Structure 1
Amino acid sequence: MQSSSKLFPVALVSAELRGDLTEDVYLLKPNNSPDPSVELALTRLGRAGRDGARGAPLVLLHGSFANRRIWYTTGGQGLGAWLAHAGFDVWLAEMRGHGLSPRNLSYRDNRVADYARYDLPAIAAFVGEQCAAPAHWLGHAQGGLALAATLGGGYLDAAQLASLTLCGSQISCRHGVLGLPPLGWVARLLLRRREQVAAGWLGLGEGYEDEPAGVVRESLRWFGLFGRFGEGRQDWAAGLAEVTVPVLALAGAGDRAAPAAACRQLLERFGSPLRESLCLGRVEGFAEDYGQVAMLLGSNARCEVWPLLEYWLRHQRLPERR
């Protein structure tokens, strides 16, 4: 089946009814990058029988070693389904080689820089064409970094965004001994011979998937001792000063990969007059010190974190906490 788009080839590969939600899976072929084999899967969740009254568009972007299932489980649960039931027009993007997006010819050399320069602008253009309104964007961990990169690099017009939410995303905290130049160089050299980094190597359990070696090499460069969040001469972090969309940064008090202070530092890079941050932990009155995954998938997230996100998306401010 073909989808109507004047931008580039788009196939509607499936259209299913999942309970009271519709699940439409599109495959985009933007043909805008050096690798012409790239195809991007984009899943839309909507309320059945309500296509004539779509809510505000919202794009959810997964992190590393993940896919759309972090937002929408095989059983029809998750933050994506919850926000669709709340009336948002939810779009689940999967980066090249992840989830339903086929592995491209240059899979091993995929980088977040490619997501930022080519893939996210294509996704934004298609969602904008379908919805005729700026979309809210929410990125988890590396997904948030990809959004920061595309905005800081000027690849995506901020006018296409209604708001930006970063969950557990940071660019300033070095990662242990790999921050030492010799060890980082050796790790990057060894990865040049690898197609991918298997989720199992890192002890990640069921539901996680492999990551292209190029993305991991890029991350090692960013978080090395002399690393910089950018590509070539471009400093994406500096470019964020020109971004003025409303931004929310969520951090987990128990998140060692993205400490709250580092998440706050990324938020402060933005030139947005409307910036909010919140650390999800017991000191702030939450039931637990949330980790990076638990803030979205934990047993307490549904009743504590998800309503906060919904409120922010509707009002561009956080609710007052008792």
Structure 2
Amino acid sequence: MTNQESLFLSQGEHQLHLRHIWQKKGGTPIFMLHGAIENGLIFYTKKGKGLACYLAEQGFDVYVADLRGRGESTPRIDEHAVHGQFEAITEDIPLFINYIFKVTQQKINLVAHSWGGVLLASTLARFPIITQRVRSKTCFGTKRMVTVKSLEKMFKVNIVWNNLAPKLAKKKGFLDAKKHGIGSDNETAQSLADSVAWVKKSDWHDTTDGFDYSQAAKSVDWPPTWHFTGSKDKVLGHASDVNIFIQESNPKAKFTLLSKSSGNMQNYDHINILTHPNANVDHYPQLVKWLKSH
């Protein structure tokens, strides 16, 4: 059975939640970052399920973040929250990584789901010195732009995310994604606007200060990187869009499409790539072997 504790890091008036999960002390550290309209619970349950708990059982020292206002971080996102991606990229993620490095005195394996992988890559492109504290990077269903064309994409991205969600956010002051049943956590109006700008075919430039991430990425000494996505992930982490992001961030990254035709037990989608019971005996052991090789 794994041990769990909640840690809180101060960032201005924010208390950022970091869930620490371990079985033995002194293991190689792992930092896990969730995507948009979700929180750290995509990686763990308090009863010991999920990738974070699985990795802890394999001897890793795991830390799962809740970005500001999400999960158990406080204050919760409401109409007064004005932060966006800029604060996550330039303040929160560096704080988490530097804290973990300070307490463990070891290089860190980074693991992200969906949009969390874009935010992590943005932080490393912007502050390449942080890569000196990183051992590897693994992403599940991570894309920046959604370029695929389908009815599902038109509904989920064009209609809901790019048009309906900003209207809901403008009306209430933030995107109450939980109430509307479109996510497991909420987004500020600013972070929603930031992601909408990037999801459309666009340059990888910061919407706050114009920083050119795509140019900066070319000179980063990227850590060994592995991108997974599932064959049933037709919109939010489509294989073609994952590969577009690989090309604009780290072209040397490894890519794996999980599907029955490739010998996997499931055709995974955007969420069950991390939550399906078969993951523990399907792709998680491959990941552990790879992580231990670094």
Q: Same fold (TM over 0.5)?
A: yes
Match of 1:237 among 214, 218, 222: 214
Cα distance 1:153–1:302, how it changes in 2: closer, same or farther (>3 A)?
A: same
Letter in 1 for 2:217: L
Letter in 1 for 2:75: R
Contact 1:97 1:107 in 2 (8 A): no
Match of 1:136 among 101, 109, 114: 109
| Counterpart position of 1:280 | 258
Match of 1:110 among 83, 93, 115: 83
Shift of 1:296: 0.5
Which structure 2 residue ranges, 5 or more long, are not aligned?
148-152
| Counterpart position of 2:93 | 120
| Counterpart position of 1:263 | 242
The structure with the largest alpha-carbon Rg is 1
| 3-state SS, counterpart of residue 83 of structure 1 | helix
| Counterpart position of 2:9 | 28
Which structure 1 residue ranges, 5 or more long, are not aligned?
1-19, 31-35, 317-322
Match of 1:149 among 122, 126, 129: 122
Contact 1:117 1:155 in 2 (8 A): no
| Counterpart position of 1:216 | 192
CA distance in 1, matches of 2:174, 2:114: 19
Shift of 1:230: 2.7
CA distance in 2, matches of 1:307, 1:135: 19
- Tell me, yes or no, if structure 1 residue 98 matches structure 2 residue 70: yes
Cα distance 1:132–1:277, how it changes in 2: closer, same or farther (>3 A)?
A: same
- Tell me, yes or no, if structure 1 residue 169 matches structure 2 residue 148: no
CA distance in 1, matches of 2:100, 2:262: 36
What does 1:289-304 correspond to in 2, within 5 Å? 289-304=267-282
Letter in 2 for 1:191: A
| 3-state SS, counterpart of residue 108 of structure 1 | coil
Match of 1:60 among 26, 32, 43: 32
| 3-state SS, counterpart of residue 109 of structure 1 | coil
* TM-score, scaled relative to structure 1: 0.79
| 3-state SS, counterpart of residue 102 of structure 1 | coil
Contact 2:29 2:62 in 1 (8 A): yes
Match of 2:284 among 300, 306, 314: 306
Shift of 1:241: 1.8
CA distance in 2, matches of 1:227, 1:261: 17
Contact 1:247 1:272 in 2 (8 A): no
CA distance in 2, matches of 1:283, 1:178: 27
Cα distance 1:81–1:191, how it changes in 2: closer, same or farther (>3 A)?
A: same
CA distance in 1, matches of 2:76, 2:270: 28
Letter in 2 for 1:152: A
Shift of 1:90: 0.5
| 3-state SS, counterpart of residue 199 of structure 1 | coil
Cα distance 1:95–1:38, how it changes in 2: closer, same or farther (>3 A)?
A: same
Count of residues in Structure 1 that have an aligned counterpart in Structure 2: 284
For the aligned residues, what is the CA RMSD? Answer: 2.7
Percentage of identical aligned residues: 22
Letter in 1 for 2:275: L
Cα distance 1:197–1:164, how it changes in 2: closer, same or farther (>3 A)?
A: same
CA distance in 1, matches of 2:238, 2:250: 22
Deviations 1:21-76 (A, max 9, x none): 2222111114xxxxx212211121121xx43xx11100111122222222221322
| 3-state SS, counterpart of residue 29 of structure 1 | strand
* Greater alpha carbon shift after TM alignment, 231-240 vs 73-82: 231-240
| 3-state SS, counterpart of residue 14 of structure 2 | coil
Letter in 2 for 1:38: H
